[in-house]
Amino acid sequence: MELTKEIQEFLLNNALERFLRYVKIWTTSDEKSDSIPSTKNQLELGKILVEELKELNLEDVVHDDLGFIYGYLPPSQGYENTKTIGLIAHLDTSPAVSGKDVKPVIHKNYNGTEIRFAQNPKLSLTINDSPNLEDYIGLDIITSQGDTLLGADDKAGIAEIVTTLAAWKKFPELKHSPIKICFTPDEEIIRGIHKIDKEKLPEVCYTVDGSKMGELEIECFDAWRAIIKFKGLNVHPGYAKNLMINAIYIACRFLSELPEAETPEHTEEREGFFHVNKLQGTSEEANATLIIRDFELKNNQRRTDYLKNLKKLYELRYPGLKIELDFLHQYKNMLKYLEKDKIVIDLAKKAIELAGLEVKLHSIRGGTDGTILSEKGIPTPNIFTGGELFHSRKEYIPTLALQKAAEVLMYLGYLWTQKL
């Protein structure tokens, strides 16, 4: 199968148009919400996508009450008995930075100099911030205006998948296996995927979510969440000696005991960490939330044991203090599940090579919906979208990445026609 210049131009232009349109739809998820989807705006994007999928000849298109979108694209004629694969991307953007009123900006023919932001004059993007920018000199780069994130995580993945579907419709000579599509809510808060309807998914899936051009992610963090409640005793500060148990002050001291070298800002590659992402309270009661990450389960068990021992020490040190410590195992490293079915990885590698890119096997310092699906018995590695600096106001993506990711998906659909 050959992708002509006409097809490549179609992929670039179509993916770019869709991406610029999708990022303007506010779909930030909300950790404080008890519902799924956690925000109604995710449903609004979903309604648009449902209509687009139907226009692209997908069958059995469903938009359920939880915000999941499912669809089925029949195979090319003659390939009815080939294996069905799934393509997955998520609707929400990270609550870490505002995703409301995103205004994408295309920086034409990037020349390697500092990129400035119209709505945030003090903000800039340089090669020092993201060394990969040097690889994109001469390309067009998309950013926000600096007052929001961009939303390439994961509007780029959605745009790339829908563009691939559009190309299969426009160029029927491009053969493909049966394809199932799923767009998921609340990936950023690790919530939606637990409610997915497995019966609507095939035996093999790929998420299209994050990472630079050429990357194929087959390993992820083993992930835990820790919730700590400090219960103290408030007394009038004028008469508090030997009586007050200041919960928020003690919480600060407790958290300062975490090893500084094991925090996100001091770790990289396969190094794990503690990350305090929330602390609030009063002298009477304080609450902290941490995430704990490592590629090895035994290292995270060491970290959870450290917190348990610190709890005992502080309750002895401050008589009357009560500390509640709860752990949630959020997801497991997906590598051991993917290694059982290596054809899923091998064909993704081949698709990336056919798109003219160097394959870069990468360990995700985070997770995707695929981590949960792999654990559930559906091997789901992650294919790049091409964005960088996700979850920040400096987030960006080269337009070429939108095209290349779509090329990979087209080759992937073809390669699976060769495997009965």
List residues with catalytic annotation: 92, 187
Q: Give the list of residues 6+ apart from residue 38 with CB closer than 8 angstroms, or none.
A: 29, 30, 31, 92, 185, 186, 189, 191
Distance CA 219, CA 376 (A): 15
DSSP line for 165-195: HHHHHH-TTS----EEEEEES-TTTT-GGGG
Q: Cis omega (within 30 of 0) on the bond before 154?
A: yes
CB 324 within 8 A of CB 285: no
Question: In whole angstroms, what separates CA 57 from the centre of its chain?
Answer: 28
Burial of 306 (0-12, 13-18, 19+ CB in 10 A): middle
Distances in Å between the Cα of 225 and the Cα atoms of 119, 293, 302, 314, 326 are 35, 9, 14, 20, 8
**Beta partners for residue 194, in sequence order:** none
- E strands, 209-256, are 215-220, 222-231
Q: Give the list of residues 6+ apart from residue 303 with CB closer than 8 angstroms, or none.
A: 224, 262, 272, 274, 292, 294
Closest CA to 412 of 171, 85, 12, 80: 85
How many H-runs (helices) and E-runs (strands) does the chain carry?
9, 17
Closest CA to 251 of 276, 226, 230: 230
Closest CA to 411 of 164, 72, 83: 164
- Sign of the Cα torsion 197, 198, 199, 204 reads positive
Distance CA 136, CA 133 (A): 5
Centre a 10 Å sphere on the Cβ of residue 366 and count the other Cβ atoms it contains.
18
Residue 84 backbone phi and psi in degrees, to 5: -80, 135
